[in-house]
Amino acid sequence: MFHEKNLPKMLWVEVAHTIVFLQNGLLKRTVKDHTPHKAWYDYKPSLNFLKIFGCLCFTHVPQNKYDKLDKRAPSCFSIGYSIINKSYKIFQLQTRSMVVVINVHFIKDGGWELG
């Protein structure tokens, strides 16, 4: 995943967290054809919120956080999922920072460049 999307080396930890998150949702033979989540919590989790790793996305910026001429939806790319709630970890290209947000619009076919 890391090399497929040409991610910067500083994000390797987030890639590892995403792999662990996804592995916990996959079937395992050691828990009798159940996911580790189902074996532990006794219910199958919904995976409808999963998105393509590293795809281009846009997040909404609240009105009090931007000026009249600023972008209202800065470009970002997805790098993972929050383990606390159903939110996404994204990397903002302009600020080069990682944030956890809920309101995200994903573009599956869109590419990105660090520039």
- Output the pTM of the full model: 0.71
Describe the strand order of the beta sheet including 75-81 as a list of residue ranges: 97-101, 88-92, 75-81, 56-59, 104-107
Q: Where are the domains of the chain?
A: 9-107
Q: What is the widest separation between alpha-carbon atoms in the chain? A: 57
Q: What is the CATH number of domain 9-107?
A: 2.30.30
For the stretch 5-46, pLDDT in tens is 777 788 888 888 888 888 776 666 666 767 777 777 888 777
For the stretch 46-91, pLDDT in tens is 778 888 888 888 887 767 766 777 666 777 888 888 888 888 999 9
Tokens 């660090």 -> residue? 114
Cite the beta strand spans of 38-111 per DSSP E: 56-59, 75-81, 88-92, 97-101, 104-107
